Chains A and B, each alone.
Chain A
């Protein structure tokens, strides 16, 4: 052994009050994060006949149903865009968010085996769960491109903001995922709450309908239109359509509001997670 290098000294003590975030440690474990994402993706489509095609089929079938019922029968407005395109763009990013949220909320409890046997920053687990959804998003995006081509729509330069909007969705999903995954360790009720929460959240997000139908009503109540952006997914979904489909909207204020709530969720989520993670191994 070479004794030239000084060995790292680790002090183990009970932590009190607000735990340090130790984000540097998270960076040191980035390879583990990578491998966990890789495992999730690999395992998700192993032994499935259609494999990653599911990432396309699910939103496509949902779009078909939405188009028939909401677009045709109910005649819901779609900002002047073809309804299938309108709802697919929204569903794409919504699915990423919803999947990330559900996967991460169960991730810590699902990794009990790891948590009680090995040390690593626990934050890696819910973050990996959210990140693994990015692969599905990447698989489903070319279908949107094909649809754009089919409908003869060319996105404007705004398309360059898509990665930033995806990042916003990632931040939102991680923020909520951290809260739920940590709460789930102590309160298993979370498992029952999540599907319900995702369903309700879909209805208060402009996925099926455009934000433009709601803005006038908010104004009539004397509320600013950006208020709806408090739902982080409002900004993301509206922004996504604006960026990809060149929708005639100006979602700037919605995105700004959503960014604020997403960051608030993420920061508070990280702190809450850190605070309770010390007892994970004893409770999980």
Chain B
């Protein structure tokens, strides 16, 4: 036996549009079959959509692989086929090992039943043996922190308790292959930390995990490799960093880390011309994607054909929605705005400190301004950049961190005194 845990070959799934929600009524079917012989052009085929289209990949045993893509890219359909909830239309999957799927927490929980009863029921639904549930019962209850309420019907549970219990049962499933769909996006911060820890534990035990999520941070944290699905096809399979970067870039649909112009089309005129713009890391290597804790280098190359021109290179950083985040120029130059350039080629580098931007996609404009007033050359949207959250400034919180910028602020909290009785 090879070390392949999941082998997917030419997997395709056809959905009739609307089939997922709609069901037929008997009358409709009878009417249609009555009318059919009289209809011209024979039977009309229903409109269909390939939710998965010739998808092939392999997952090795012990690998933690992320599945990313836009909504409707086929991620959930893929997990549903792998967990045998629905059948593929074409293709073949070989799965080696017991599969546990976590497409939702609390599947089959019944409001009227107590915590204890639901643990048994849910465990059985997830495929655990009774003896196995009995053995792990205390551990599950402790993990969920619901010891005192274990004999209370879950309808009296708070949402947090309910989710904790639901996840706890699922987390104690011990299959060789675990399929997880976005379940970590529940619960409060401390519980998310626990879930993540448990997931890491699972991964460390040599189990194979296929993890679907929109949360690129969690994907980067947990996975070694990633599969990017785009409209039902595999767009890329590679190391997690590479795939997440190209996925994020695709969302912006933008140039990339570097842009170089031929002289004929270069922004500017005969006297001042922009040659190239680049986003790099501190080593000077072009990067489309940088962590929040990385300083970002914006590099502008230009040529000057006019002696003694007063020039001022400027960068403008915008969000992909067009909001200007900030603009920057070399204010620290004592000759700011007055520096005279002789003819030649130049490179201006601006370092954006770490922990300024939030995670997201950004577009950079590069400008050459004469005497702080006249724009001589402008390269709008020259390069794009995605920043990702490497966890350096979020602790254990896994949700969206709102805000256009995400500066690292200084905080202090201190006790002022006791409460008066």
Kindly list chain A residues whose C-beta atoms are within 8 Å of the C-beta of B126: 118
Q: Which of A6, A12, A13, A14 has the most CB of B within 10 A?
A: A12
0/1 string, A200-243, CB within 8 A of B gives 1: 00000000000000000000000000000000000000000000
A187 at the interface (CB under 8 A from B): yes
* C-alpha gap A10/B98 in the complex (Å): 9
Taking a contact as CB atoms under 8 Å apart, the answer to whether A43 and B86 are in contact is no
Count residues of B near A (Cβ-Cβ below 8 Å).
52
* C-alpha gap A253/B113 in the complex (Å): 46
* C-alpha gap A220/B25 in the complex (Å): 42
Taking a contact as CB atoms under 8 Å apart, the answer to whether A117 and B87 are in contact is no
Taking a contact as CB atoms under 8 Å apart, the answer to whether A118 and B90 are in contact is no
Taking a contact as CB atoms under 8 Å apart, the answer to whether B15 and A9 are in contact is no
Given A8-B97, A31-B124, A31-B129, do A282 and B86 touch, yes or no (CB 8 Å)? yes
0/1 string, A20-36, CB within 8 A of B gives 1: 00000000000110111
Taking a contact as CB atoms under 8 Å apart, the answer to whether B85 and A118 are in contact is yes
From B19, B87, B96, B120, contact of A283 by CB (8 A): B19
Taking a contact as CB atoms under 8 Å apart, the answer to whether B24 and A187 are in contact is yes
Chain A residues touching B, range: 35 or more
Given A43-B113, A118-B125, do A113 and B23 touch, yes or no (CB 8 Å)? no
B40 at the interface (CB under 8 A from A): no
A154 at the interface (CB under 8 A from B): no
Q: Is the interface of B mostly helix, strand, loop or mixed?
A: loop
* C-alpha gap A120/B124 in the complex (Å): 10
0/1 string, B282-300, CB within 8 A of A gives 1: 0000000000000000000
B20 at the interface (CB under 8 A from A): yes
Given A15-B87, A118-B103, A120-B127, do A42 and B176 touch, yes or no (CB 8 Å)? no
* C-alpha gap A46/B88 in the complex (Å): 40
From B85, B101, B121, B127, contact of A115 by CB (8 A): B85
* C-alpha gap A200/B91 in the complex (Å): 47
* C-alpha gap A6/B97 in the complex (Å): 9
Given A119-B84, A281-B86, do A32 and B125 touch, yes or no (CB 8 Å)? yes
Q: Which residue of A has the minimal Cβ distance to B174? A: A1
Taking a contact as CB atoms under 8 Å apart, the answer to whether A7 and B29 are in contact is no
Taking a contact as CB atoms under 8 Å apart, the answer to whether B124 and A281 are in contact is no
Taking a contact as CB atoms under 8 Å apart, the answer to whether A282 and B20 are in contact is yes
0/1 string, B71-112, CB within 8 A of A gives 1: 000000000111111111111111111110101100110101
Q: Which of A13, A118, A120, A281 has the most CB of B within 10 A?
A: A118
* C-alpha gap A34/B107 in the complex (Å): 17
Q: Which residue of A has the minimal Cβ distance to B153? A: A46
* C-alpha gap A251/B35 in the complex (Å): 48
Smallest beta-carbon distance B135→chain A, Å: 14
Taking a contact as CB atoms under 8 Å apart, the answer to whether B205 and A1 are in contact is yes
Q: Which residue of B has the minimal Cβ distance to A109? A: B23
* C-alpha gap A116/B101 in the complex (Å): 12
Taking a contact as CB atoms under 8 Å apart, the answer to whether A283 and B23 are in contact is yes
Taking a contact as CB atoms under 8 Å apart, the answer to whether B27 and A189 are in contact is yes
Taking a contact as CB atoms under 8 Å apart, the answer to whether A39 and B27 are in contact is no
Taking a contact as CB atoms under 8 Å apart, the answer to whether A14 and B110 are in contact is no
Kindly list chain B residues whose C-beta atoms are within 8 Å of the C-beta of A189: 25-27
Given A116-B85, A119-B84, do A9 and B124 touch, yes or no (CB 8 Å)? no
Smallest beta-carbon distance B29→chain A, Å: 7
Given A9-B95, A39-B113, do A186 and B121 touch, yes or no (CB 8 Å)? no
Task: Show 25 A/B contacts (Cβ-Cβ < 8 Å), sorted by A.
Answer: A7-B96, A8-B96, A9-B94, A11-B95, A12-B87, A13-B88, A13-B93, A14-B88, A15-B87, A31-B124, A31-B130, A32-B125, A38-B121, A39-B110, A42-B113, A46-B113, A113-B108, A118-B83, A118-B85, A118-B101, A120-B127, A186-B23, A189-B25, A279-B87, A284-B23
Q: With A7-B97, A187-B25, A282-B20 given, name 14 new contacts (CB 8 A).
A: A1-B205, A7-B96, A8-B97, A10-B96, A12-B81, A35-B121, A39-B113, A39-B117, A43-B113, A117-B85, A118-B83, A120-B127, A186-B23, A283-B23
Q: Could you list which residues of chain A lie within 8 angstroms of chain B, going by C-beta atoms? A: 1, 6-15, 31-32, 34-36, 38-39, 42-43, 46-47, 113-120, 185-189, 278-279, 281-284
Q: Which 10 A-B pairs have the closest CB atoms?
A: A12-B93, A35-B124, A119-B84, A7-B97, A189-B26, A281-B86, A187-B26, A117-B107, A278-B87, A10-B95
